[in-house]
A = this chain, B = another copy of it.
Amino acid sequence: MSTRRPLLAVATLCVALLACAQSSAQVGTAPQPAASATTTAQATYRPEFGTMWTFDAPPIDYWRRTYNFAPDQRWLDKVRLASVRLPNCSASFVSSRGLVMTNHHCARACIESTSPSDSNYIETGFAAKAITEEKKCAGLYVDQLQSIENVTSRVRSAITGATPAEQAAQRAEVFNRLQTECSQQTRLTCQVVTLYHGGMYSLYRYRRFNDLRLVMAPEGEVAFFGGDPDNFTYPRYDLDVTLLRVYENDRPYAPQEYLRWSRNGAADGEVIFIVGNPGSTGRLNTVAQMEFLRDVSYPANLAGYHRFLDIYAELAKRDTSAARRYQNEIFGYENSLKAVTGYRTGLLDTAQMAMKREFEREFRARIAADPRLRAEYGGAWDAIAAAQRELATFNPQLRYQGFAGGSNLLTLAAQLVRVASESSKPDAERLTAYRGPALNSVRAAVTRNVPIDTAFERLALAAQLRAARSELPANDPFLRVALANGTPESVAAALVRGTRVGDSAFRASLLNGGAAAVAASNDPMIVLARQIDPINRTVAARAAALNAIIAANAEKIGQAMFAAYGTALPPDATFTLRISDGVVKGFPMNGTIAPYKTTFFGLYARSASFDNKPPFRIPPRWAERRTRLDLATPFNFVSTNDLIGGNSGSPLINRNAEVVGLAFDSNIEGVANRFVFTTDVARAVSVHSRGITEALRKVYDANSVADELEGR
């Protein structure tokens, strides 16, 4: 979770449930030489670090001890090859003819884009009546992990610089070299992955499949039944599934490996595995990093979400269509609100934090006991704590002396000003986001035609300025510039009224005019952006320097941990393929017990309890076909597997590598697992495999697809 919103915040919210992979986590930051990589004899598994295991270090002994299960390499290879990664989700091959199963919320763009002009498959659902009716999803691809190679020593040997900046450049270069070399040799998609914050580097090689077609998607109402209220909760009743098919040369692709369908699906108490790509966790973070998130960063994030939600509520009051128009944004912020509140709940949990503190105390004592380790790593924790403390002193400046978190017009103006000045520098001297091909992406984004809602802009800019005024000291340079001519409300109204930045042609003309045009512009929003730009650069540079210290020292700690524990502890999530063990199990909830599974009875029950009103409405086809269904069929279920955003669409498999379910969420208690993994009440939430086939047969008349899954 970044401490700042992206500069270009125009409608780039993450609206999916677990799809919010933070793929930035997969590229590492400035590495440092590690201590000896041999694991010590004491290295044993610690449950609070979770169970997101990599495929090159499966914990066979731990599985044998815990479940009396020790899969062989063939089992592991099969499962790895049957698993695929979508751009922001997980998926799997589930038939011999290339069927790919993922979540509905991972395939929304495909479902929308393949809809005919007069209807929307998100509303109506879609089931191809024949293979010829399957619809190509433009731009969608899946990656299949072919192999993993430990490249730690190659990365390390390339990093010889003395300063963090030199090291960062060398690291980027060796990553690039390794990736390019790999792609040229293998024609695969290659990526260097930073594990253990730099304790280990691995080269992941993927085969990419570019032709995916839509086979079946249920109605959005049943895929996301319960909407925002039920999001991140359980008991749950969501058919959050979409079936795609991989084609090659215009024919269904026959994968070398795929997952068979379990006849019974997940059973209470059964050991099962989630195979997918968790996006980002913070379990190796230090206590100081966690406290910063808990006390500084997350509270400010939450206030920001509330600020936006208040704006949408105000718009909806004035104009009843606004709630509908902004439903994606509203859902996005509600989703973030729930997620970040959940992350923070874990950090506020005294038992979880005590566990973390105790681990840190023990681990630091171990480092301190060895003179060599102490010299290399002993200072890392205090260095991070000092940097976090300093960051906390100017967090309001970092948040509010800028352009983001409110008006899109101001953000666009700021972007025009910065593109102009950065473009005039040599590539190597530019801010990272403006180097090389990235510059063209920024230029394209800034001139793209986007609708501007001036009512929203006025409210958002005023709210942004009000927040700045309440968080910053009165003599702050940003406030002096931004509020020189009035109140937040009057300034916002005048700027939105007076600017032409909303016009994409105007933006293009400024962009083409370069630094001179921008400097000469008397558009009031551009004028303001020019004044803010140096203030923002100063504070951002100050934060960047401190974050570099944190990153460098976090790497040291990661290296020390890897040196001490090796792969006995799984690395933090990196949106790469992991396998997590767990058990199907209910949990204590609301004074009683949440059952391990729900059924179709429950879907109709929850809908009836809300008088069939949205977001609890049953789609018409489901109302009509209710009596066909065996209502006691398992629908959703929970298990103790470890998962997080990015795992959406992961298959759940049994010991026979058969599909027993499809992960799509965690319960509200599970959201708190981001930093410390627990299984007392935290659960993964999945669609049951039997619910999928029952719906295919009885609701969607898709017997042929169900037969294909079941291998009939």
Contacts and interface: CB of A to CB of B under 8 A. Distances in A.
Given A235-B609, A609-B235, A611-B268, A604 B592 contact: no
Interface in A643-700: 667-668
Interface residues of A, number: 31
A606 B631 CA distance: 12
A67 interface: no
B235 A591 contact: no
Interface stretch (A11-19, A300-308, A521-529, A593-601): A593-601
A599 B608 contact: yes
A47 interface: no
Interface string A604-641: 11101111000000000000000000011000000000
A604 B631 contact: yes
A230 B338 contact: no
B668 A590 contact: yes
Contacts of A591: 232-233, 338, 667-668
Nearest to A630: B608
Contacts of A631: 604, 608
A255 interface: no
Contacts of A590: 233, 589-590, 668
Nearest to A601: B605
Interface string A535-564: 000000000000000000000000000000
A598 B602 CA distance: 11
A229 B593 contact: yes
Contact of A599 (B226, B592, B593, B609): B609
Interface in A380-395: none
A627 to B, nearest CB: 9
Candidate in A230, A599, A602, A609 with the most chain B CB atoms within 10 angstroms: A609
Interface string A208-247: 0000000000000000001001101101000000000000
A605 B598 contact: yes
Contacts of A229: 592-593
Nearest to A342: B591
A30 B598 CA distance: 56
B609 A233 contact: no
Contacts of A592: 226, 229-230, 233
A604 to B, nearest CB: 5
28 contacts: A229-B592, A230-B592, A232-B591, A233-B590, A233-B592, A235-B609, A268-B611, A589-B590, A591-B667, A595-B606, A595-B609, A597-B609, A598-B605, A598-B609, A599-B605, A599-B608, A601-B601, A601-B602, A601-B604, A601-B605, A602-B602, A602-B605, A602-B606, A602-B608, A602-B609, A604-B605, A605-B605, A608-B632
Q: What 8 pairs between A and B have smallest CB-CB spacing? A: A591-B668, A595-B609, A601-B605, A602-B605, A605-B605, A229-B592, A608-B632, A233-B591
Given A590-B590, A601-B601, 8 more contacts: A229-B592, A268-B611, A589-B590, A597-B609, A599-B609, A601-B604, A602-B608, A608-B631
